Structures are given as C-alpha cells and as structure tokens.
Amino acid sequence: MERKVRVLVAVAWALSIVCSLYIGYALGPWLQARHGVSRPTANVIILWEHAGGSDVLYTGNVITDIGEEHLRDMAANGGTFEAIKYISIGNATASSSLTDLTSEYDRQAGNVVTWVNNGDYAYNCTYKWTFSSTVTLNAAGLHWDGSAANTLFAVANFAQTTFSANDNCTIRWIITFDAN
C-alpha cells in the first residue's frame, strides 16, 4: 500500500511539472509584445460574434518603427505623452514599416484597464464594433491618435473575415511592459 502511495505521489508530481511547463509555454506568450519579430506572440484577442455563434482568435502584433520611435522620444526627450489607446480595423499586412493600415475601416478609442501581469505593468485596450453592413477585414491597429495619419504603434493580422450586418467584433489588445 505504501509503495502505491509513493507511485501515485511521483506521478502527480511529474504531471504537475508537465502541466506547469505547458501552461507557462501556452499562456505566457499571449501577454507579450515585441518589435518587428518574425513570430509575434499572441497578445491580441479578437472575438467575432455572429448568427452562428462566436469565434475567438489569439494573434500577435508587430510594433512598428514609428511606434518604437514614439516611445523613445517620449521617454528620452520628455515629449508629451499621447495615450496609445485607439484601435483601428481594416486591411493590411503586418510589418514594422507600416505607419497606418493600408485601408482603414474605422478607428475608435478603446476602453483602457491597467493591471499587473506577472510582476510587470500592463494594460488592456478594448473596443467592440457592431457592423451595419457586410465588410471584409484582416487587420487591427493600435494608435496614439484618434484620427491622425502616421500614428500606428502596432499592427496585428487575422484571417480575412467577412463580417455581416449585426455581427460584433471585439478587439482586446494586451500591452505588457517588460524591460527586464
């Protein structure tokens, strides 16, 4: 009996290590943003609500060159901070060289919630669209201005999707500041 208990404890211990490694591998990358990486980690959540139900997509973003420059200038030169809280939807191919989406359908101020992500400061920026007509989109952008051109901080691609009238699309951007 004692041997069976030791075996069960050993199996439980091994499973706990495997599960913690999997969870750390699978969930940890969702909360990171990196500049121009070839394999962006998923930190953008897209919820598509439609007549047939709902679909959730987790995708990564690419921080643009002008987005990186904006942060540098603000921090190094005491520039005026402009909140990076405006979400656009439209069409584009994610690239660090973009300054705007190739074609922008709409841009709105997102709802911002600040929090601490595993010891690092973070915030979520979320906006929900309800479509009045059919539109096909494949990209989302995060900006520091509600309407001006050349303010694209980050861009994320998703599979080209045709949204119908009365469909909802919620974009949640998760930004984590991890400079360690």
Return the residue matching tokens 């929900």: 128
Mean pLDDT, residues 75-96 taken together: 90
Q: Note the pLDDT tens digit of each residue in 165-178.
A: 999 999 999 999 88
Q: Note the pLDDT tens digit of each residue in 86-107.
A: 999 999 999 999 999 999 999 9
Q: Note the pLDDT tens digit of each residue in 137-159.
A: 999 999 999 999 999 999 999 99
Q: Are the beta carbons of 146 and 123 closer than 8 angstroms?
A: no
DSSP run (H or E) holding 21: helix 2-27
Give the DSSP letter of residue 150.
S
Residue 73: predicted pLDDT: 86
Coarse DSSP helix, strand, coil percentages of the chain, rounded to the nearest 5 percent: 25, 45, 30
Q: List the domain boundaries for the chain.
A: 32-177
Q: Two tokens at 5? A: 């208990």
- Which residues share a beta bridge with 139? 90, 157
3-state secondary structure of 45: strand
pTM for this predicted structure = 0.77
CA dist., res. 41 & res. 19, Å (int):
20
CA dist., res. 94 & res. 60, Å (int):
10
Q: What phi-psi label fits residue 118: left (phi over 0), alpha (psi between -120 and 50 degrees) or beta?
A: left
Q: Are the beta carbons of 151 and 84 closer than 8 angstroms?
A: no
Q: Note the pLDDT tens digit of each residue in 3-57.
A: 433 333 333 333 333 333 333 333 333 334 444 433 446 899 999 999 999 999 9
Give the DSSP letter of residue 35.
B
Length of the chain: 180
CA dist., res. 116 & res. 120, Å (int):
6
Q: How far is CA 94 from CA 50, 98, 106, 134, in A?
A: 25, 7, 17, 23
